[in-house]
Structure 1
Protein backbone atom coordinates (compact mmCIF):
# COMPACT_ATOMS: atom_id res chain seq x y z
CA UNK A 1 0.00 0.00 0.00
CA UNK A 2 2.90 2.37 0.63
CA UNK A 3 3.94 2.46 -3.03
CA UNK A 4 0.47 3.06 -4.45
CA UNK A 5 -0.25 5.73 -1.85
CA UNK A 6 3.02 7.55 -2.56
CA UNK A 7 2.56 7.37 -6.33
CA UNK A 8 -0.99 8.71 -5.93
CA UNK A 9 0.12 11.54 -3.64
CA UNK A 10 3.03 12.46 -5.92
CA UNK A 11 0.67 12.47 -8.90
CA UNK A 12 -1.76 14.81 -7.16
CA UNK A 13 1.02 17.18 -6.06
CA UNK A 14 2.60 17.24 -9.52
CA UNK A 15 -0.78 17.80 -11.19
CA UNK A 16 -1.51 20.67 -8.80
CA UNK A 17 1.93 22.17 -9.51
CA UNK A 18 1.30 22.03 -13.26
CA UNK A 19 -2.29 23.27 -13.01
CA UNK A 20 -1.33 26.20 -10.77
CA UNK A 21 1.57 27.10 -13.06
CA UNK A 22 -0.62 27.28 -16.16
CA UNK A 23 -3.35 29.15 -14.27
CA UNK A 24 -0.77 31.82 -13.37
CA UNK A 25 -0.22 32.26 -17.11
CA UNK A 26 -3.90 32.29 -18.08
CA UNK A 27 -3.97 28.77 -19.49
CA UNK A 28 -5.33 25.37 -18.68
CA UNK A 29 -2.89 22.46 -18.94
CA UNK A 30 -4.97 20.91 -21.74
CA UNK A 31 -4.78 24.18 -23.71
CA UNK A 32 -1.01 24.06 -23.58
CA UNK A 33 -1.05 20.37 -24.55
CA UNK A 34 -3.08 21.19 -27.68
CA UNK A 35 -0.88 24.17 -28.60
CA UNK A 36 2.31 22.17 -28.01
CA UNK A 37 1.02 19.27 -30.13
CA UNK A 38 0.35 21.65 -33.01
CA UNK A 39 3.70 23.39 -32.47
CA UNK A 40 5.55 20.04 -32.63
CA UNK A 41 3.98 19.45 -36.03
CA UNK A 42 6.21 22.24 -37.36
CA UNK A 43 6.01 25.79 -38.61
CA UNK A 44 3.05 26.54 -40.84
CA UNK A 45 1.85 22.97 -40.42
CA UNK A 46 -1.82 22.22 -40.76
CA UNK A 47 -3.17 19.08 -39.13
CA UNK A 48 -6.43 17.31 -39.71
CA UNK A 49 -8.53 16.84 -36.59
CA UNK A 50 -8.27 13.03 -36.88
CA UNK A 51 -4.46 13.15 -36.75
CA UNK A 52 -4.50 15.73 -33.97
CA UNK A 53 -6.88 13.55 -31.95
CA UNK A 54 -4.53 10.58 -32.26
CA UNK A 55 -1.40 12.62 -31.56
CA UNK A 56 -2.89 14.35 -28.51
CA UNK A 57 -4.56 11.12 -27.29
CA UNK A 58 -7.94 12.88 -27.01
CA UNK A 59 -11.30 11.58 -28.22
CA UNK A 60 -12.75 13.29 -31.32
CA UNK A 61 -15.63 14.73 -29.28
CA UNK A 62 -13.34 16.19 -26.63
CA UNK A 63 -11.06 17.55 -29.34
CA UNK A 64 -13.95 19.38 -31.02
CA UNK A 65 -14.83 21.07 -27.71
CA UNK A 66 -11.21 21.98 -27.10
CA UNK A 67 -10.79 23.41 -30.59
CA UNK A 68 -14.00 25.45 -30.17
CA UNK A 69 -12.45 27.01 -27.08
CA UNK A 70 -9.05 27.65 -28.67
CA UNK A 71 -10.64 29.17 -31.79
CA UNK A 72 -12.63 31.57 -29.58
CA UNK A 73 -9.41 32.55 -27.80
CA UNK A 74 -7.74 33.26 -31.15
CA UNK A 75 -5.04 30.64 -30.63
CA UNK A 76 -6.08 28.21 -33.38
CA UNK A 77 -7.68 28.49 -36.83
CA UNK A 78 -10.03 25.73 -38.03
CA UNK A 79 -11.69 25.19 -41.43
CA UNK A 80 -13.10 22.52 -43.72
CA UNK A 81 -10.65 21.00 -46.17
CA UNK A 82 -11.49 22.25 -49.68
CA UNK A 83 -10.83 18.83 -51.26
CA UNK A 84 -12.80 16.86 -48.63
CA UNK A 85 -15.54 18.63 -46.70
CA UNK A 86 -15.67 15.81 -44.15
CA UNK A 87 -12.12 16.68 -43.08
CA UNK A 88 -11.49 19.55 -40.67
CA UNK A 89 -8.07 21.20 -40.62
CA UNK A 90 -6.46 23.17 -37.79
CA UNK A 91 -3.32 25.23 -37.32
CA UNK A 92 -1.88 27.65 -34.80
CA UNK A 93 -2.54 31.33 -35.28
CA UNK A 94 0.38 33.72 -34.86
CA UNK A 95 -0.83 34.36 -31.31
CA UNK A 96 -1.15 30.62 -30.65
CA UNK A 97 2.42 30.07 -31.87
CA UNK A 98 3.67 32.95 -29.70
CA UNK A 99 1.93 31.56 -26.60
CA UNK A 100 3.16 28.01 -27.26
CA UNK A 101 6.76 29.13 -27.86
CA UNK A 102 6.72 31.34 -24.77
CA UNK A 103 5.25 28.63 -22.55
CA UNK A 104 7.57 25.82 -23.67
CA UNK A 105 10.59 27.17 -21.81
CA UNK A 106 8.51 28.25 -18.83
CA UNK A 107 6.87 24.82 -18.62
CA UNK A 108 10.26 23.09 -18.75
CA UNK A 109 11.49 25.37 -15.95
CA UNK A 110 8.39 24.56 -13.89
CA UNK A 111 8.95 20.82 -14.36
CA UNK A 112 12.55 21.32 -13.28
CA UNK A 113 11.31 23.16 -10.17
CA UNK A 114 8.83 20.38 -9.38
CA UNK A 115 11.56 17.73 -9.61
CA UNK A 116 14.31 19.76 -7.92
CA UNK A 117 14.39 17.34 -4.98
CA UNK A 118 15.69 14.54 -7.21
CA UNK A 119 19.14 14.29 -8.76
CA UNK A 120 19.36 13.41 -12.46
CA UNK A 121 20.27 9.77 -11.77
CA UNK A 122 17.27 9.47 -9.44
CA UNK A 123 14.99 10.98 -12.08
CA UNK A 124 16.19 8.50 -14.69
CA UNK A 125 15.74 5.58 -12.29
CA UNK A 126 12.26 6.77 -11.32
CA UNK A 127 11.28 7.25 -14.97
CA UNK A 128 12.40 3.70 -15.74
CA UNK A 129 10.49 2.24 -12.80
CA UNK A 130 7.34 4.19 -13.65
CA UNK A 131 7.59 3.08 -17.29
CA UNK A 132 7.87 -0.54 -16.11
CA UNK A 133 4.85 -0.07 -13.81
CA UNK A 134 2.77 1.50 -16.58
CA UNK A 135 3.53 -1.36 -18.97
CA UNK A 136 2.65 -3.91 -16.30
CA UNK A 137 -0.69 -2.11 -15.82
CA UNK A 138 -1.42 -2.32 -19.55
CA UNK A 139 -0.51 1.23 -20.56
CA UNK A 140 1.18 0.97 -23.93
CA UNK A 141 1.42 4.71 -24.66
CA UNK A 142 4.57 5.18 -22.53
Structure 2
Protein backbone atom coordinates (compact mmCIF):
# COMPACT_ATOMS: atom_id res chain seq x y z
CA UNK A 1 0.00 0.00 0.00
CA UNK A 2 1.39 3.39 -0.87
CA UNK A 3 1.68 6.15 1.75
CA UNK A 4 -1.39 8.03 0.41
CA UNK A 5 -3.54 4.90 0.78
CA UNK A 6 -2.19 4.35 4.28
CA UNK A 7 -3.04 7.92 5.28
CA UNK A 8 -6.61 7.60 3.95
CA UNK A 9 -7.39 4.31 5.67
CA UNK A 10 -5.42 4.73 8.85
CA UNK A 11 -3.80 1.36 8.14
CA UNK A 12 -0.01 1.24 8.47
CA UNK A 13 1.80 0.76 5.17
CA UNK A 14 3.35 -2.59 6.10
CA UNK A 15 4.22 -4.34 2.84
CA UNK A 16 2.51 -7.65 2.18
CA UNK A 17 2.97 -10.37 -0.44
CA UNK A 18 0.80 -8.49 -2.94
CA UNK A 19 2.99 -5.40 -2.57
CA UNK A 20 6.01 -7.54 -3.40
CA UNK A 21 4.26 -9.02 -6.46
CA UNK A 22 3.10 -5.61 -7.70
CA UNK A 23 6.56 -4.08 -7.18
CA UNK A 24 8.14 -6.91 -9.17
CA UNK A 25 5.69 -6.43 -12.05
CA UNK A 26 6.27 -2.68 -12.04
CA UNK A 27 10.01 -3.31 -12.21
CA UNK A 28 9.73 -5.93 -14.96
CA UNK A 29 6.90 -4.34 -16.96
CA UNK A 30 6.91 -0.58 -16.35
CA UNK A 31 4.80 -0.21 -19.49
CA UNK A 32 1.78 -1.86 -17.77
CA UNK A 33 -0.52 -0.23 -15.25
CA UNK A 34 -0.71 -3.05 -12.71
CA UNK A 35 -2.70 -1.04 -10.15
CA UNK A 36 -5.71 -3.43 -10.35
CA UNK A 37 -3.49 -6.15 -8.86
CA UNK A 38 -3.28 -4.15 -5.64
CA UNK A 39 -7.00 -4.73 -5.09
CA UNK A 40 -7.91 -7.88 -6.97
CA UNK A 41 -4.92 -9.98 -5.93
CA UNK A 42 -5.86 -9.21 -2.33
CA UNK A 43 -9.48 -10.15 -3.03
CA UNK A 44 -8.27 -13.45 -4.53
CA UNK A 45 -6.05 -14.19 -1.54
CA UNK A 46 -8.88 -13.30 0.86
CA UNK A 47 -11.24 -15.58 -1.09
CA UNK A 48 -8.83 -18.48 -0.57
CA UNK A 49 -8.72 -17.83 3.18
CA UNK A 50 -12.51 -17.52 3.27
CA UNK A 51 -12.91 -20.78 1.34
CA UNK A 52 -10.70 -22.59 3.86
CA UNK A 53 -12.62 -21.09 6.79
CA UNK A 54 -15.97 -22.01 5.22
CA UNK A 55 -14.93 -25.58 4.47
CA UNK A 56 -13.63 -25.94 8.05
CA UNK A 57 -16.84 -24.59 9.59
CA UNK A 58 -18.97 -26.91 7.46
CA UNK A 59 -16.73 -29.95 8.02
CA UNK A 60 -17.20 -29.61 11.78
CA UNK A 61 -20.87 -30.37 11.06
CA UNK A 62 -20.22 -33.11 8.48
CA UNK A 63 -21.35 -30.87 5.63
CA UNK A 64 -19.87 -30.17 2.23
CA UNK A 65 -20.09 -26.64 0.85
CA UNK A 66 -22.78 -27.62 -1.66
CA UNK A 67 -24.84 -29.21 1.11
CA UNK A 68 -24.66 -26.04 3.16
CA UNK A 69 -25.67 -23.99 0.11
CA UNK A 70 -28.88 -25.98 -0.40
CA UNK A 71 -29.73 -26.25 3.30
CA UNK A 72 -29.12 -22.55 3.89
CA UNK A 73 -31.33 -21.60 0.93
CA UNK A 74 -34.13 -23.60 2.53
CA UNK A 75 -33.43 -22.09 5.97
CA UNK A 76 -33.54 -18.53 4.60
CA UNK A 77 -36.94 -19.25 3.06
CA UNK A 78 -38.46 -19.19 6.55
CA UNK A 79 -41.07 -21.47 8.03
CA UNK A 80 -41.88 -24.09 6.78
CA UNK A 81 -38.32 -24.01 5.28
CA UNK A 82 -39.28 -25.27 1.86
CA UNK A 83 -38.69 -24.29 -1.76
CA UNK A 84 -39.32 -25.76 -5.15
CA UNK A 85 -36.37 -27.36 -6.92
CA UNK A 86 -36.56 -24.47 -9.42
CA UNK A 87 -36.16 -21.90 -6.66
CA UNK A 88 -33.20 -23.87 -5.32
CA UNK A 89 -31.67 -23.82 -8.81
CA UNK A 90 -31.96 -20.05 -8.93
CA UNK A 91 -30.36 -19.59 -5.53
CA UNK A 92 -27.52 -22.08 -5.96
CA UNK A 93 -26.73 -21.58 -9.67
CA UNK A 94 -26.52 -25.26 -10.62
CA UNK A 95 -28.17 -27.30 -13.36
CA UNK A 96 -31.43 -29.17 -12.93
CA UNK A 97 -29.69 -32.55 -13.02
CA UNK A 98 -27.17 -31.44 -10.42
CA UNK A 99 -29.92 -30.16 -8.15
CA UNK A 100 -31.88 -33.41 -8.44
CA UNK A 101 -28.75 -35.33 -7.44
CA UNK A 102 -28.13 -32.99 -4.51
CA UNK A 103 -31.69 -33.25 -3.24
CA UNK A 104 -31.49 -37.06 -3.51
CA UNK A 105 -28.27 -37.13 -1.48
CA UNK A 106 -29.59 -34.72 1.17
CA UNK A 107 -32.78 -36.78 1.42
CA UNK A 108 -30.71 -39.97 1.85
CA UNK A 109 -28.94 -38.27 4.78
CA UNK A 110 -32.25 -37.26 6.37
CA UNK A 111 -31.61 -33.52 5.98
CA UNK A 112 -34.46 -32.74 3.56
CA UNK A 113 -37.72 -34.33 2.49
CA UNK A 114 -39.87 -33.99 -0.62
CA UNK A 115 -43.55 -33.12 -0.45
CA UNK A 116 -46.20 -32.60 -3.13
CA UNK A 117 -46.78 -28.98 -4.03
CA UNK A 118 -50.27 -27.85 -2.97
CA UNK A 119 -50.40 -25.47 -5.97
CA UNK A 120 -49.21 -27.89 -8.66
CA UNK A 121 -50.00 -31.60 -8.45
CA UNK A 122 -46.99 -32.38 -10.66
CA UNK A 123 -44.61 -30.28 -8.58
CA UNK A 124 -42.73 -31.00 -5.40
CA UNK A 125 -41.38 -28.91 -2.59
CA UNK A 126 -38.14 -29.63 -0.80
CA UNK A 127 -38.31 -29.09 2.96
CA UNK A 128 -35.70 -29.05 5.70
CA UNK A 129 -36.09 -31.80 8.25
CA UNK A 130 -35.54 -31.13 11.93
CA UNK A 131 -32.09 -32.68 11.56
CA UNK A 132 -31.33 -30.47 8.55
CA UNK A 133 -32.47 -27.36 10.42
CA UNK A 134 -30.30 -28.17 13.43
CA UNK A 135 -27.27 -28.90 11.25
CA UNK A 136 -27.54 -25.77 9.07
CA UNK A 137 -28.11 -23.51 12.08
CA UNK A 138 -25.03 -24.87 13.86
CA UNK A 139 -22.89 -24.62 10.71
CA UNK A 140 -24.09 -21.05 10.14
CA UNK A 141 -23.12 -20.05 13.67
CA UNK A 142 -19.62 -21.48 13.12
CA UNK A 143 -19.35 -19.78 9.73
CA UNK A 144 -20.25 -16.37 11.14
CA UNK A 145 -17.69 -16.81 13.93
CA UNK A 146 -15.01 -17.67 11.34
CA UNK A 147 -15.96 -14.65 9.22
CA UNK A 148 -15.82 -12.33 12.23
CA UNK A 149 -12.28 -13.59 12.83
CA UNK A 150 -11.33 -12.94 9.19
CA UNK A 151 -12.58 -9.36 9.46
CA UNK A 152 -11.30 -8.85 13.00
CA UNK A 153 -8.69 -6.26 12.03
CA UNK A 154 -11.41 -3.89 10.75
CA UNK A 155 -13.60 -1.70 12.91
CA UNK A 156 -17.34 -1.53 12.10
CA UNK A 157 -16.99 1.62 9.97
CA UNK A 158 -14.21 0.03 7.92
CA UNK A 159 -16.31 -3.12 7.40
CA UNK A 160 -19.22 -0.96 6.23
CA UNK A 161 -16.94 0.92 3.81
CA UNK A 162 -15.46 -2.30 2.46
CA UNK A 163 -18.91 -3.84 2.03
CA UNK A 164 -20.13 -0.76 0.14
CA UNK A 165 -17.09 -0.75 -2.15
CA UNK A 166 -17.40 -4.46 -2.91
CA UNK A 167 -21.15 -4.05 -3.54
CA UNK A 168 -20.31 -1.38 -6.14
CA UNK A 169 -17.76 -3.59 -7.90
CA UNK A 170 -20.00 -6.68 -7.83
CA UNK A 171 -23.07 -4.76 -8.97
CA UNK A 172 -21.99 -5.06 -12.59
CA UNK A 173 -22.16 -8.85 -12.32
CA UNK A 174 -25.34 -9.17 -10.27
CA UNK A 175 -27.47 -6.92 -12.47
TM-score greater than 0.5 by the shorter chain? yes
User: Distance between the aligned counterparts of 1:9 and 1:38, measured in 2?
Assistant: 30
Tell me what 1:140 maps to.
174
Q: 1:38 aligns with which of 69, 74, 78?
A: 74
Alignment deviations for residues 40-65 of structure 1 (CA, whole Å, 9 cap, x no partner): 22222432111222233333222112
Aligned length: 138
User: Distance between the aligned counterparts of 2:75 and 2:60, measured in 1?
Assistant: 21
**Which runs of 5 or more structure 2 residues have no equivalent in the other structure?**
1-36
**Given the two structures, how large is their TM-score scaled by the length of structure 1?**
0.84
**Which runs of 5 or more structure 1 residues have no equivalent in the other structure?**
none
User: Distance between the aligned counterparts of 2:174 and 2:65, measured in 1?
Assistant: 22
- Cα distance 1:44–1:17, how it changes in 2: closer, same or farther (>3 A)? same
Tell me what 1:106 maps to.
142
Tell me the C-alpha RMSD between the 2 structures.
Answer: 2.0
**Bigger strand share:** 1
Work out which structure has the larger RCO, using CA pairs closer than 8 Å and 6 or more positions apart in sequence.
1
**Given the two structures, how large is their TM-score scaled by the length of structure 2?**
0.70
User: Distance between the aligned counterparts of 1:121 and 1:61, measured in 2?
Assistant: 43
Tell me what 2:121 maps to.
84
